[in-house]
């Protein structure tokens, strides 16, 4: 992975984290700026790592489920052309700016990964699409579970009233 692609993935992760975190922070009162920035940076690293793992996970799924396993010599990796739409998808992750458009763009990014996986692995497009979808959904569910856990751990509960 080139440094440019790594920066693109980090920017996409920051954008995605901001889109997920800011609506939650807007509902909370009294949250310190230091806490918001630390959560934003942590979310950027996590989302960037999830984005970075998507092609590798799709490659691993292809190795597991396809009858003609791709060789280990040339694994699927991000290229600048595949990573640039992630930045736009991250920007569009803001809930009020278009979750449907965000979903469509992520499907488009997945289609780009599908084409690259199909070419690299020598399999049909639909088989590669299944591998990319399984990897994407698995990573998405995993990171959403982590997000919910972090939110649950970082929200303060109101003290109970004693009668």
Block means of pLDDT (10 residues each) for the chain, length 163 residues?
84 79 72 80 86 88 74 71 74 59 78 88 88 91 84 68 64
Residue 94 carries which DSSP code?
Answer: S
Q: Are 59 and 70 in contact (CB under 8 A)?
A: yes
> Measuring CA to CA, which residue among 83, 76, 43, 40 is closest to residue 61?
76
CA distance 55 to 61: 10
User: Over the stretch 126-143, which tens digit does the pLDDT of each residue have?
Assistant: 999 999 999 999 998 988
- Provide CB contacts within 8 A for 2, sequence distance 6+: 80
Whole-Å CA distances, 146 to 89, 116, 124: 20, 29, 33
The pTM assigned to this predicted structure is 0.77
**Cβ atoms within 10 Å, residue 28:** 13
């Amino acid at each position: 992975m080139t440094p440019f692609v790594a920066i693109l993935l980090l920017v996409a992760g920051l954008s995605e984290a901001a889109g997920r975190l800011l609506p939650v922070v807007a509902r909370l009162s009294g949250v310190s700026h230091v806490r918001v920035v630390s959560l934003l940076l942590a979310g950027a690293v996590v989302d960037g790592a999830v984005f970075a793992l998507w092609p590798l996970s799709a490659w691993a799924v292809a190795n597991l489920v396809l009858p003609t396993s791709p060789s280990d010599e040339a694994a699927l990796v991000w290229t600048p052309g595949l990573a640039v739409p992630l930045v736009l998808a991250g920007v569009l992750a803001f809930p009020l700016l278009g979750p449907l458009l965000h979903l469509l763009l992520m499907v488009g990014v997945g289609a780009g990964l599908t084409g690259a996986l199909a070419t690299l692995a020598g399999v049909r497009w639909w088989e590669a699409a299944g591998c990319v979808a399984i990897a994407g959904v698995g990573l998405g569910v995993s990171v959403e579970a982590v997000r919910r856990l972090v939110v649950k751990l970082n929200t303060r509960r109101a003290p109970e009233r004693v009668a």
